[in-house]
Amino acid sequence: MQKVAKKEQRIDNVLLSLKKLDFLSRSQIQTLHNLGSDRNAQKFLKSIDKYVHSFREGENVYYLSKEGRERVECNKVRKKTIQARHYLMRNSLYIAYGCPSTWENEVALEVEGYTKIICDANFEDNGRDHIIEVDYTQKMSVNKNKIEKYRILSQLGVFETPPMFIWMTTTEYRRKQLLKMCEGLDAQVFIITDFL
């Protein structure tokens, strides 16, 4: 009886992670929920296939099915998308930073009537905002514009203390470009291979 309750709790925990993070790869679920070996993780995920859908993106990527959304009361409907890599990159940062309890996805930052920007994620650590941006297929001009808006928001006092900007991108070349654009800001830029 206790074994069944433990499995049901693990199922709920995985589904709640998918509710919060939208898409997760098999290895990300394995890491977040201590599923052991690859074989054990695949076996567990197969056992909950009525609650999740999956597709291949290097490895299986999971998202909530209708039944899964109902079980964890999720209103957000996700479908297979080419943008899933963007979510997986963001989730790699979530895991790398220790799954912060203050983590929120798609946060609007604004000064009334002046400028508004939606960051990919935000979390607070020791009273300091950490702003997450993922550069997967974005044009550099869009990134540059976003960085300039962050400078303006900082100057207008939106943040109590200067935030830490954390970027994830795809190549070393793009990392160098982003670091140059972020000069004067407290910024770190990772490439996806830093987390493989």
Could you give the number of structural domains in the chain? 2
We report the CATH number of the domain holding residue 40 as 1.10.10.10
* 72 & 123 share domain: no
Kindly give, in sequence order, each residue whose CB lies less than 8 Å from that of residue 64, ignoring residues fewer than 6 positions away. 15, 18, 19, 51, 52, 53, 72, 74, 78
pLDDT of 1:
65
* 119 & 187 share domain: yes
Average pLDDT over every residue of 8-19: 95
- Please determine, for residue 102, whether its predicted confidence score (pLDDT) is greater than 80: yes
Residue 83 lies in a domain: no
We report the CATH number of the domain holding residue 157 as 3.40.91.20
Handedness of CA 22, 28, 30, 33 (dihedral sign): negative
The amino acid sitting at 34 is: N
* 108 & 182 share domain: yes
pLDDT of 5:
82
Confidence band for 181, pLDDT divided at 50, 70 and 90: very high
pLDDT of 160:
85
* Structure confidence by residue, pLDDT tens digits, 82-97: 889 999 999 999 999 9
* 59 & 134 share domain: no
Domain of 162, in residue numbers: 104-195
* Structure confidence by residue, pLDDT tens digits, 110-147: 877 777 899 999 999 988 999 999 999 889 999 999 99
* Structure confidence by residue, pLDDT tens digits, 17-76: 999 999 999 999 999 999 999 999 999 999 999 999 999 988 999 999 999 999 999 999
C-beta atoms surrounding 125 within 10 Å: 12
